[in-house]
Chain A
Amino acid sequence: MVDAVLLILREVLEAALILSLLLALSNKLQLRYHWSLIALACGFLGSWLVAHNAYAISDAFDGIGQELLNSALLLVAIISIIALSLMLLPLAFANFQPHNNSSQRATTLTHHYWLVYCLLVTTVSCSITREGSEIWIYLSSFLPSPETFYSAVIGGVIGAGIGVSLGAITYYLLAFMTEKIFLPTFITVITLVIGGLSMQIAKLLMQIGWFESNAPLWDTSFIINEHSWLGELLYAVIGYDAKPTATQGIFYLLAVTPIAVGALCHKWRLRIKNHA
């Protein structure tokens, strides 16, 4: 049962944290929460479909279908988060303008509400599909033996409960932030999250031999071991890797650069405006 708790917790944690971050954003932007139910339903269905077709997916493209599908799901989530963050940047920097008009800020996203909802649903659906499919496959391995199956299900429920609780803590930590610091914090954290997701794509492409699996850039195992609970938590939040390779580094930079450049441009324009 302990194995089931740990495995399900690992799978649930990343999706739960992404969902919590985006729910906190909904709270601050005064969006409705119904998108989260649609995303959960899509993710639930998507994960079941992936698990149900696991054999066909694994065999596809000469045995690399699993990696390609997971990479595609990660890529779609990353692109959605980048698009969402670039839309939020003007709002984040508007908070620092001296003659800031809240009604003007509120209308900035009004014309793009549908796009925002679509991006939120896509991000969460992709995360749940990827992580959830592994949970279905794991639980299916216990089906031949009802006793161990129920034990695994109970362990899974406990693991999922811990993951959801950590997600809830993250939500309330962010929801209680003032508006001025929420958006910069959100954009920073979500940028680190997509950096981590991009490193997972790099890892998958190295696993199928498409990219060189070169020597690690550094080894921080002696500070935070990936096996430790802190290492696991950091892996879920920012994709912590004690021994990242150059390929992973390049993917990380490619993922975080659009938001970093966008933020720098806004900062630069704000400085010019304030000096004008």
Chain B
Amino acid sequence: MKWMHNNFLHGIFLHSKLWHRGLWLVGLLLANATKAEVPTFTLEIRDHLFFPSTLVIPAATKVKLIVKNTDPTPEEFESYELNREKVIMGGAKAIIFIGPLPPGDYPFFGEFNPKTAQGMIRVEQ
């Protein structure tokens, strides 16, 4: 039985094409993620508000977002629609990659000051 058990595991881990395909897919995702320079856009947090409150970015493009927090207090950039969440300390800046995204509006907010710190990423063709 032990022999059968070992053979079973051997079959799964060594001879499975699924395993190789998974590795290939992970490699492809990594390679695509790091291969090219991406356009950069900047957002600023000032007095618990985002400037600009609406940022227009191109569709189907990976974008580097630099968020500068000019307030002395920390803030958390958060967006359910963009699936992003990052704490930005007071006077510091943060880099957040977003996209590629289809056209549309993607709201974001500052979780530490949700009533005032609100904004939108507008993705256009």
Chain A residues within CB distance 8 Å of chain B: 3, 7, 54-55, 58-59, 62-64, 66-67, 134, 137-138, 140-142, 144, 203, 206-215, 226-227, 241-243, 245-247, 250, 261, 265, 268-269, 272
Contact = CB atoms under 8 A, between A and B. Distances in A.
B114 A3 contact: yes
A3 B115 contact: yes
A214 B115 CA distance: 30
Given A66-B87, A211-B30, A144 B72 contact: yes
4 nearest interchain CB pairs?
A209-B97, A141-B73, A212-B29, A212-B33
A137 B85 CA distance: 14
A55 B89 contact: yes
Interface in B76-125: 76, 80, 83-90, 92-100, 102, 111-115
Contacts of A243: 83
Determine the main DSSP class of B at the interface with A: mixed
B38 interface: yes
18 contacts: A3-B114, A3-B115, A59-B92, A63-B95, A134-B76, A138-B112, A141-B73, A203-B83, A206-B83, A209-B62, A209-B64, A209-B97, A210-B33, A212-B29, A213-B83, A215-B100, A243-B83, A268-B5
A64 B95 contact: yes
A13 to B, nearest CB: 15
Contacts, number: 107
Contacts of A268: 5, 8
Majority secondary structure of chain A interface residues (helix, strand, loop or mixed): helix
B73 A58 contact: no
Interface of B: 1, 4-5, 8-9, 12, 22, 25-26, 29-30, 32-34, 38, 62, 64, 72-76, 80, 83-90, 92-100, 102, 111-115
Contacts of A140: 73-74
Nearest to A226: B80
Nearest to B111: A7
B7 to A, nearest CB: 12
Contact of A137 (B1, B8, B89): B89
A265 B97 contact: no
A211 B29 contact: yes
Contact of B8 (A210, A241, A265): A265
A19 B88 CA distance: 28
Contacts of B92: 55, 58-59
A155 to B, nearest CB: 12
Contacts of A213: 33, 62, 83, 97-100
A22 B113 CA distance: 34
A66 B100 contact: no
A51 B111 CA distance: 17
Contacts of A210: 30, 33-34
